[in-house]
Chains A and B, each alone.
Chain A
Amino acid sequence: MDLTWSAEERAFRHEARAWLTAHVPRPALPSGDTAEGFAAHLEWERALFDARWSAVSWPSRFGGRDASLWEWLIFEEEYYRADAPQRVTQNGIFLLAPSIFEFGTPEQQERILPRMAAARDLWAQGWSEPGAGSDLAAITSRAERDDPAGGWRLHGQKTWTTRGAFCTHLFGLFRTDPAAERHRGLTYFLVDLRSPGVEVRGFERLDGDEGFAEVFFDEAFVPDDGVANGAGVLGGVGEGWRVAMATTGSERGLTLRSPGRFLAAAERLVELYQSRPDPARRNQVVQAWVNAYAYQLFTLQQVTAIADGKQPGAESSLNKLFWSELDVRLHETAMDLLGPDGEANGPWPKGFLFSLAGPIYAGTNEVQRNVVAERLLGLPRTGR
């Protein structure tokens, strides 16, 4: 056991803190899940990229810093501690990129990753469909081969696509083998949303932002040689499920929600309590802080295991259950402290509404509990 940071890691933290202190915009930007706010966030993303903070763990040739997972955790702690803007590039950098590193061709990596890090290409996730939410293998959107044109034609509809109305690209699953069922015969596509035959329609989320979109595909063309525009197949035709599972593993686990986010929120809750003490709520405040701290310790243990060459796998469902539930309780506690003042909109009510999405996105917590029970505890797999 050694729970101390090395001199290099402390220097890395110091550098990140100094840069963030000097550059985090004040006052805070409007929500990145609105058209106006998204544009402001793009400027921030490009500032991050110019200083090589947008994807610290990536190789430097793609715009990163070759940072270790430990340094990535440190950067995340400093990022949320500084109350820096939400990452509107998150679905690309944290969810798609790990799959491109694992399954992408060298050309896909060279073409797609630097533009993603620089917030030139903005990636939306295209998993859910009107009839396929938690049950991802029920998707019906399909891709048909167009040999004369040298590519694929997409048909169907994706929905609940976060920031879809503001993004330039989409990654998602489409059926390429009409005879195959469920998780077979799927292919992972990278799509330029500006292509003919693609229509994107934004709609409002529970929190009032136009953060969702429906995406309609009507013979939208994905050329085989479209990599210069970020389009193509990732990981081979018919391999979609395997590639997608790698991505959802990242999403549930560590890379989507680092402990820094919750530690910072817990610190702000402590400050809220100090400004509005309510002894009846004190234990809830302490427990929110304790849970954020416990999540940090769990991830330190997990990153040690990863550094030793172990893959987290189904364990990422433990992360997802814990951070999403702690986040809801933390924000409920803040709302309790605000009392009647919580009706006036502001960062806490906004955060509360957003926290309610946590147990739903990235695979509902009901599905995660099934994963924990079946794959970690070994209980029988059955119908739902």
Chain B
Amino acid sequence: MRFALDEAAEALRDATADVLRGYSPGGDAAGTWDKLAGVGVLGTLVPEDQGGLGLDENALVPVLEEIGYSGLPGPAAETIAFAAPLLAGAGLGTAGGGLIAVRAGDGDLIPYGMEAPRLVMDYMVYEQGQLVLEEVPALDPLRPLARVLEVRGAGVQLGAPEGTAWQRGVLGTAALLCGLSRRMLDMTVEYVKRREQYGVPVGSFQAVKHALADAHVAVEFARPAVLAAGWDLSQAAESPIDPVGVAKILASDAARLVARTAIQCHGAMGYTTEYDLHLFAKRVWALAPSWGDADWHRARVATHLGV
């Protein structure tokens, strides 16, 4: 028993974090993705003989947590966790193929559908141009949405619903949510230490401390569940308890609690778009319901538990 990151996972996490330190919300996302690709992040789960890093889900989770923390827009879980290894497995591409948008089965919207060179829909892969898309106004200004109007080319069949690839997508989204939670919590802690009212920092008030303590507890008990789900997927063993669903439940609920708490503790400052907090919160409201929301996964876990 050893519940800690291996050296390879730590090294990739650190390399990812180094690149992401150069990104701030609204900055050069495309350039940052190029740099991440240069470190090999897109091919985390792609075998080495296809240009990938040949790592497993234990390395995937901390990478996506860092991307979540940075707020970098783009189909991160879709590409790195779900599509890249799926395409490589089907002989349809290597790690160098760029970002891939995915319609995960939660509805008809495709995040980043107009931007990514390739799309996966209903487990079929399409090149940009094989689908006629329309843009849909999005809640998260850095996560544009598209809807498919017409299919003009024949896609290629990949994988199957709720298989390993889909589980990786759920896991990756849970990891992104943990990173977003940590970021909003860090921002809020810094803010309430500086912001003074009644002549003292608002972070000295117990009402604020207790709200942030509860948010911190929620995040710190979600993160090990996400790591453990990664380990479970890496073992490719049939698990009786749906660890990936558990991870998504805890990460989604924690992220929504943190978003709400962070905005409240920022007061009116949290209710502006001039300050970056809203971007992280909106990413949470987009990701928490995607790849199965908490209640959807609770229903699945219920089946596993026999209730």
Q: Which residues of A contact B (CB under 8 A)?
A: 1-6, 9, 70, 270, 273-274, 277, 282-283, 285-287, 289-291, 293-295, 297-298, 300-301, 303-305, 308, 318, 321-322, 366, 368-370, 372-374, 376-382, 384
Contact = CB atoms under 8 A, between A and B. Distances in A.
B307 interface: yes
Given A70-B1, A273-B307, A290-B246, A377 B231 contact: no
Contacts of B302: 282-283, 285-286
Contacts of A290: 246, 249-250, 298, 301
B216 to A, nearest CB: 6
B210 interface: yes
Contacts of A377: 185, 189, 209, 212-213, 216
A248 B10 CA distance: 33
B298 A3 contact: no
B307 A380 contact: no
A119 to B, nearest CB: 31
8 contacts: A3-B228, A283-B298, A294-B221, A294-B222, A321-B217, A369-B214, A379-B189, A382-B200
Contact of A298 (B208, B221, B234, B305): B221
A304 B3 contact: yes
B153 interface: no
Interface string B174-208: 00000000000100010011000000110110101
Contacts of A277: 307
A369 B307 contact: no
The secondary structure that dominates the B interface is helix
A1 B224 contact: no
Contacts of B306: 270, 274
A1 B295 contact: no
A377 B188 CA distance: 10
Contacts of B58: 1
A295 B307 CA distance: 21
A1 B5 contact: yes
B209 A379 contact: yes
B307 A379 contact: no
A308 B230 CA distance: 22
Given A289-B301, A298-B221, A376-B216, A370 B206 contact: yes
Interface of B: 1-6, 9, 58, 185, 189, 192-193, 200-201, 203-204, 206, 208-210, 212-214, 216-217, 220-222, 224-225, 227-228, 230-232, 234, 241, 246, 249-250, 295, 298-299, 301-302, 305-307
Given A1-B58, A293-B225, A294-B221, A301 B4 contact: yes
A5 B3 CA distance: 12
Nearest to A384: B206
B250 A372 contact: no
B307 A1 contact: no
A305 B204 CA distance: 30
A305 B4 contact: yes
A265 B226 CA distance: 23
B221 A300 contact: no
Contacts of B234: 1
Given A274-B307, A370-B210, 17 more contacts: A3-B3, A6-B1, A270-B307, A273-B307, A282-B299, A282-B307, A291-B221, A293-B241, A297-B228, A298-B220, A300-B3, A308-B4, A321-B213, A366-B206, A370-B206, A370-B213, A379-B208
A313 B222 CA distance: 20
B225 A294 contact: yes
Contacts of A300: 1, 3, 224, 228
Contacts of B5: 1
Nearest to A278: B307
A101 B220 CA distance: 30
A380 B203 contact: yes
Contacts of A304: 1-4
Q: Which of A291, A295, A297, A374 has the most chain B CB within a 10 Å cutoff?
A: A297
A380 B201 contact: yes
Contacts of B227: 1, 297, 301
Given A369-B213, A378-B189, A379-B189, A1 B3 contact: yes
